[in-house]
Structure 1
């Protein structure tokens, strides 16, 4: 397999060669998504591509590379900033070092519900975060869902923070996630997602935290049959475009890109919600112990140190704006 450096160089080289040798709209825009071809974000990208072609009369076409074909998110993000990749769907975690505003939607319990998260990302808080990406070389287009992360483990239900004491919980390689686990009382174990199932089986870790589809599709529920709906993090995904490519578009093309992105969001959410329900039924049908936690106040009270560490004066207004955003009725 080619190294990350080789992949980045190859894609960047192809892009620059294409820019030098032809008009900007003669080749397709290249889009990457690390998720597999049937994942909701990839389906949303396909809708985005089809809508963009229609709106521009085929002036702008998109070639989608799902399944991490161009490398992991951190590599493709670098490609996008450099201009070797045009469009990218990424998690907020790799964006944290380049735009601190992206830390805010990944804070524990910053959202009260999925509906609240969606209202915020569709509204002023979301616009503020997307605009903060531009100095880093990225045009923020829209947000996609990544579900609500909850704890699962092989030892016991987690009904309150004290139940996490002594549990080794896998987390993403992120200072924010590690700090959140520490604040809640768990022992954070950063680990690649692909290694989690084997680590659970071999008792290297006691559990992990993730959304319904991830818990089900990876068969983690077989090795960790206690799932507690803490819903402690609801960090969204972000669809971004290289500012280098964005600046080369006409005003009409830019408007079409933004409109196509906007129209892809409800499509993604419908697919995601259906996927969540399917995964939930599979997990329940397997006899997993699922605990709903209606009162999360004990958990919320424990994560204050996370806010004190990661939220500076510049970010406080954004946190407050999220708190002031109303959850739509119905």
Structure 2
């Protein structure tokens, strides 16, 4: 055989190896022992710590998937952003090198524009309205919107209501935001919201926020109570305002490349386990929110209950001039849903 033909065959073999590398990266097959059966293990990466309700829910999902599949399918969970940031993990889903990740619906705006509806301020009347929407037709349709971007939503996790907190002075009314630099997620909707209320929005990665607050890069931020206390932002910020401007859920996303390679039975098991983890996480979240409130107060944080109508009035023009037609239609549908 000539050298040129030998090189050609070697190139074909190498190409085949590279083509399957993505699948090998997101899943590994293990010998299960005496039975001789192979076990498929899916990789799940996220940026939360192991004490977070979402991580605990994922551990339940792992256990339930193993039970449903009689040990055929399992999940390796990599917390603490060891596999990258939210955006980096999403990109790994798209190329098939990661099976699942947790992401905020706000982050998903950059991949699925319709997700921006969750970041619209005061789009939900209350918690009951919120859950009716995301567990209903609208919420389930949004989970499927990422197929073209090689992303598939499995379930939602509760991330509570987002509220303002600050260092030097309290935020009791929208005018108090004037002249204040407020950290927001990298979401155009969140940026527009803070601008509408009179503040100066500053996108900063979540992992960098504590330092940014301590160093005065920003004057405050906005998030839920458990995130505020878990990350010890109470050490820097002593004012927390319960204005509840948004309810942006977390989403368990899966690589469509990975999903499409799974057996239909495995998909069913995975969906069952994911939905059970969502219900479990919702209960945990309510408990953690109550604990977080007590913790914040014990650390000297003043909690302010305010007139949310004043904040809602500031963003009303924003809701009346939604640029994306799909988001505008979704917002109209959400508003029309009765409790």
Per the normalisation by structure 1, the TM-score is: 0.88
Q: Does 1:306 align with 2:318?
A: yes
Q: Does 1:78 align with 2:91?
A: yes
Q: Is the 8 A contact 1:176 1:306 kept in 2?
A: no
- Within a 5 Å distance, the mapping from 1:1-330 to structure 2 comes to 15-17=22-24, 26-293=39-306, 295-307=307-319, 310-327=322-339
> Per the alignment, do residues 265 and 72 of structure 1 end up closer, same or farther by CA in structure 2, a change over 3 Å counting?
same
Q: Is the 8 A contact 1:48 1:261 kept in 2?
A: yes
Gapped runs of 5+ residues in structure 2? 1-18, 31-37
Moved more, 43-52 or 220-229: 220-229
> How far is 1:54 from its partner?
1.3
> How far is 1:280 from its partner?
0.4
Moved more, 201-210 or 118-127: 201-210
Task: Choose 1 or 2 for highest CA Rg.
Answer: 2
Gapped runs of 5+ residues in structure 1? 1-11
Question: Which residue matches 1:5?
Answer: none
Q: Is the 8 A contact 1:167 1:206 kept in 2?
A: yes
CA deviations 1:42-85 (Å, max 9, x no partner) are: 11111111111111222221111111111111111011111111
Count of aligned positions: 314
Give the Cα–Cα distance (whole angstroms) in 1 for the partners of residues 174 and 250 of structure 2. 27
Give the Cα–Cα distance (whole angstroms) in 2 for the partners of residues 201 and 98 of structure 1. 32
Give the Cα–Cα distance (whole angstroms) in 2 for the partners of residues 206 and 52 of structure 1. 44
- Please provide the CA RMSD for this pair: 2.3
> How far is 1:21 from its partner?
9.5
> Per the alignment, do residues 154 and 214 of structure 1 end up closer, same or farther by CA in structure 2, a change over 3 Å counting?
same
